[in-house]
Amino acid sequence: SQQGEEDPQALSIQEGENATMNCSYKTSINNLQWYRQNSGRGLVHLILIRSNEREKHSGRLRVTLDTSKKSSSLLITASRAADTASYFCAGETSGSRLTFGEGTQLTVNP
Protein backbone atom coordinates (compact mmCIF):
# COMPACT_ATOMS: atom_id res chain seq x y z
CA SER A 1 0.00 0.00 0.00
CA GLN A 2 1.19 3.50 -0.75
CA GLN A 3 -0.85 4.97 2.04
CA GLY A 4 0.96 6.71 4.81
CA GLU A 5 0.21 6.06 8.41
CA GLU A 6 -1.05 8.46 10.98
CA ASP A 7 -1.25 8.19 14.70
CA PRO A 8 -3.18 8.38 16.75
CA GLN A 9 -6.19 7.25 14.76
CA ALA A 10 -8.39 9.06 17.25
CA LEU A 11 -7.62 11.80 19.76
CA SER A 12 -9.95 13.31 22.31
CA ILE A 13 -8.87 16.37 24.30
CA GLN A 14 -10.32 19.27 26.27
CA GLU A 15 -10.63 22.77 24.90
CA GLY A 16 -7.44 24.74 25.49
CA GLU A 17 -5.17 21.72 25.34
CA ASN A 18 -2.71 21.09 22.54
CA ALA A 19 -3.26 18.34 19.99
CA THR A 20 -0.38 16.54 18.30
CA MET A 21 -0.82 14.24 15.32
CA ASN A 22 1.92 12.26 13.62
CA CYS A 23 2.29 11.04 10.08
CA SER A 24 4.74 8.69 8.41
CA TYR A 25 5.18 8.14 4.71
CA LYS A 26 6.97 5.64 2.54
CA THR A 27 8.37 7.31 -0.57
CA SER A 28 10.39 10.45 -1.26
CA ILE A 29 8.22 13.54 -1.44
CA ASN A 30 8.44 17.07 -2.82
CA ASN A 31 6.39 18.43 0.03
CA LEU A 32 4.00 17.32 2.74
CA GLN A 33 0.60 18.88 3.25
CA TRP A 34 -1.94 18.74 6.02
CA TYR A 35 -5.66 18.89 5.41
CA ARG A 36 -8.73 19.07 7.56
CA GLN A 37 -12.06 17.42 6.77
CA ASN A 38 -15.30 17.93 8.62
CA SER A 39 -17.63 14.94 8.56
CA GLY A 40 -19.01 14.31 5.08
CA ARG A 41 -17.41 17.42 3.62
CA GLY A 42 -14.53 18.30 1.34
CA LEU A 43 -10.95 18.96 2.34
CA VAL A 44 -9.54 22.22 3.58
CA HIS A 45 -5.84 22.84 3.00
CA LEU A 46 -4.11 23.81 6.24
CA ILE A 47 -0.39 24.04 5.62
CA LEU A 48 2.36 22.88 3.28
CA ILE A 49 5.94 22.15 4.25
CA ARG A 50 8.57 21.61 1.59
CA SER A 51 11.05 18.77 1.71
CA ASN A 52 13.91 21.17 2.48
CA GLU A 53 12.07 22.72 5.42
CA ARG A 54 12.05 21.36 8.94
CA GLU A 55 9.41 23.43 10.68
CA LYS A 56 6.66 25.79 9.71
CA HIS A 57 4.08 27.83 11.61
CA SER A 58 0.71 29.19 10.64
CA GLY A 59 -1.43 30.73 13.37
CA ARG A 60 -2.10 27.99 15.94
CA LEU A 61 -0.59 25.34 13.69
CA ARG A 62 2.97 24.07 13.83
CA VAL A 63 4.24 21.46 11.42
CA THR A 64 7.53 19.62 11.50
CA LEU A 65 9.10 17.43 8.86
CA ASP A 66 11.88 14.89 9.30
CA THR A 67 12.79 13.52 5.88
CA SER A 68 15.38 11.14 7.33
CA LYS A 69 12.63 9.43 9.31
CA LYS A 70 9.97 10.09 6.67
CA SER A 71 7.70 11.57 9.29
CA SER A 72 5.81 14.75 10.06
CA SER A 73 3.82 16.10 12.95
CA LEU A 74 1.01 18.62 13.23
CA LEU A 75 0.53 20.52 16.47
CA ILE A 76 -2.61 22.51 17.11
CA THR A 77 -2.18 24.77 20.11
CA ALA A 78 -4.94 26.06 22.38
CA SER A 79 -7.51 23.83 20.73
CA ARG A 80 -11.14 24.86 20.31
CA ALA A 81 -14.31 22.82 19.94
CA ALA A 82 -14.45 24.05 16.33
CA ASP A 83 -11.17 22.21 15.64
CA THR A 84 -13.08 18.92 15.88
CA ALA A 85 -12.55 17.21 12.52
CA SER A 86 -10.46 14.60 10.74
CA TYR A 87 -6.92 15.60 9.88
CA PHE A 88 -4.97 14.06 7.01
CA CYS A 89 -1.40 14.37 5.91
CA ALA A 90 -0.58 14.00 2.23
CA GLY A 91 2.79 13.62 0.59
CA GLU A 92 3.17 15.14 -2.86
CA THR A 93 5.25 13.23 -5.40
CA SER A 94 5.91 13.65 -9.09
CA GLY A 95 3.04 14.90 -11.20
CA SER A 96 1.54 16.58 -8.14
CA ARG A 97 0.12 13.27 -7.01
CA LEU A 98 -0.96 13.27 -3.38
CA THR A 99 -0.82 10.15 -1.23
CA PHE A 100 -2.92 10.58 1.87
CA GLY A 101 -2.36 9.17 5.32
CA GLU A 102 -5.06 7.28 7.13
CA GLY A 103 -6.14 10.31 9.12
CA THR A 104 -6.63 11.26 12.76
CA GLN A 105 -10.09 11.97 14.12
CA LEU A 106 -9.73 14.83 16.58
CA THR A 107 -12.46 15.57 19.10
CA VAL A 108 -12.14 18.71 21.19
CA ASN A 109 -14.54 18.69 24.12
CA PRO A 110 -15.86 22.05 25.31
Partner 1 sequence: GAVVSQHPSRVICKSGTSVKIECRSLDFQATTMFWYRQFPKQSLMLMATSNEGSKATYEQGVEKDKFLINHASLTLSTLTVTSAHPEDSSFYICSARGSGGAYNEQFFGPGTRLTVL
Interacting residues with partner 1 (CB under 8 A): 3, 33, 35, 40-45, 48, 88, 95-103
CB-nearer residue toward partner 1: 59 or 110: 59
Whole-number Å distance between alpha carbons of 20 and 72: 10
Shortest distance in whole angstroms from residue 75 CB to partner 1: 21
Shortest distance in whole angstroms from residue 16 CB to partner 1: 27
Q: Number of C-alpha atoms within 13 angstroms, CB side, residue 11?
A: 27
Shortest distance in whole angstroms from residue 72 CB to partner 1: 15
Question: Which of 83, 103, 66, 69 has its CA nearest to residue 14?
Answer: 83
With beta carbons less than 8 A apart as the criterion, state whether 88 and 37 touch. Answer: yes
CB-nearer residue toward partner 1: 76 or 100: 100
